[in-house]
Amino acid sequence: MGKEAITKELEKRRIPELLRLSDNTPVDTPQLWETRRKEIRDILQKECYGYIPESGWETEWETVSEEENAFGGKARMRTVDVRIRSGRGYVSYPFQLTVPKNIEKPLVFLYLSFFPLSSAEIVEEITDNGFAVARVSYQDIAPDQNDGFQNGPGSLFPGNAYDSWGKLGVWAWGLSRIMDYLVQEETLDAGRVAVVGHSRLGKAALLCGAMDDRFSLVIACESGAGGAALFRGKEGENVADLCRNFPYWFCGNFKKWQYREEELPLDQHFTAALAAPRHLYLAGAVDDEWADPLSEFLTGQAVTPVYEMLGQQGLAADRLPSTGDVFHEGRVGFHLRPGTHYMGRDDWKLFMEYRKKQGV
């Protein structure tokens, strides 16, 4: 019964097929999935997020401060400056790495935050649970403004008004440059780094995990439109709202899909599916109608056949979610928290539980 209700809801959305190449070949092997992923990446970049640079820069890191006894001596905290140069110029931004002392090679959260690095936020609670946290304040990477390609990494690769990267792409790319540092840091478990963000930063985290295969887990919390929520049949924010309020998050081509969601050559299960067969976690909140948690859940369901084709369990849900539901059995995790749009300790607790349970 419960499963049928999910299938019925998803069928109503009439989303484009994931497991078929553009020439109609069915995708039924891991090799063909790799081919399909390239197609999907191309569609997403061309029509939605803009093309994200793949080469043409050099990076250096400099430790700018170190605290041996953070949180009463429980953790080490270091601030590192990421310095990036291309033929066009130079940008830098800091991130903060906090590592618990009592764990050898801890798993890591790469956390794209709304808050300045000077705020303590949730870090102590996460490190107390045995995880390291690399935290970056998103506007340190690039301002959340319609500034063309003027500030931050956009200025290293200025583009055009059609298919060049928007700010979501810039923030995602900025996270990957921190990941470059984390993978060569021997005190961390570089094979188990989760990228995580909330809302607009959940959109950026999802995109980052879609473009960069080095993350073992991708967490998009209440990421809504342009994040994990399906556009087709969605409540709340839609393509036109995004293009009116935040056109610079996306590429110029995205505007042509306003009021034409049904014709989009993609839907957001494309972005989410690029995580497969790695772990993916989508979180929603019941009163977050603007993001629409049902449409986020349905994305988890829509990507499940990809996991299954790759021999993994996807979203292990036997019913449409109701308040407080937690689905942690498969490679696609989901929870529906009571309350409004927010990422707080209740969400973090479930992310950490999921990681411990799945060993990822």
CB burial class (10 A; 0-12, 13-18, 19+) of residue 20?
middle
Cβ nearer to ligand GTR, comparing 138 with 354: 138
Q: How far apart are CA 242 and CA 250, in angstroms?
A: 9
CB of 237 to ligand GTR, least distance (A): 5
Cβ nearer to ligand GTR, comparing 246 with 354: 246
CB of 229 to ligand GTR, least distance (A): 9
Cβ nearer to ligand GTR, comparing 235 with 353: 235
Closest of 350, 32, 29, 51 to residue 217, by C-alpha: 350
Cβ nearer to ligand GTR, comparing 114 with 181: 114
CB of 200 to ligand GTR, least distance (A): 3
How many residues touch ligand GTR (CB under 6 A)?
A: 5
CB of 245 to ligand GTR, least distance (A): 6
Report the half-sphere exposure of 49 (CA within 13 A, side-chain side): 33
Site for ligand GTR in 201-230 (CB under 6 A): 224-225
Cβ nearer to ligand GTR, comparing 70 with 283: 283
Question: Per rule CB under 6 A, is residue 200 in the interface with ligand GTR?
Answer: yes
Neighbour tally for 332: CB within 10 Å: 29
CB of 247 to ligand GTR, least distance (A): 12
CB of 199 to ligand GTR, least distance (A): 3
Cβ nearer to ligand GTR, comparing 224 with 333: 224
Q: How far apart are CA 86 and CA 154, in angstroms?
A: 11
Question: Per rule CB under 6 A, is residue 167 in the interface with ligand GTR?
Answer: no
Q: Print the binding letters for residues 97-136 with ligand GTR: x by CB under 6 A, - otherwise.
A: ----------------------------------------
CB of 226 to ligand GTR, least distance (A): 6
Cβ nearer to ligand GTR, comparing 152 with 224: 224
CB of 109 to ligand GTR, least distance (A): 19
Determine phi and psi for 122, rounding to 5 degrees.
-95, 0
Q: How far apart are CA 99 and CA 22, in angstroms?
A: 45
Determine phi and psi for 98, rounding to 5 degrees.
-120, 125
Cβ nearer to ligand GTR, comparing 237 with 261: 237
Question: Per rule CB under 6 A, is residue 237 in the interface with ligand GTR?
Answer: yes
CB of 269 to ligand GTR, least distance (A): 18
CB of 242 to ligand GTR, least distance (A): 7
Edge to edge, what strands does the sheet with 326-327 contain? 58-70, 75-86, 89-100, 132-137, 108-113, 193-198, 217-221, 279-285, 332-337, 326-327
- Residue from 98, 129, 155, 199 that binds ligand GTR (CB under 6 A)? 199
Cβ nearer to ligand GTR, comparing 237 with 296: 237
Cβ nearer to ligand GTR, comparing 220 with 315: 220
Contact residues for ligand GTR (CB under 6 A)? Answer: 199-200, 224-225, 237
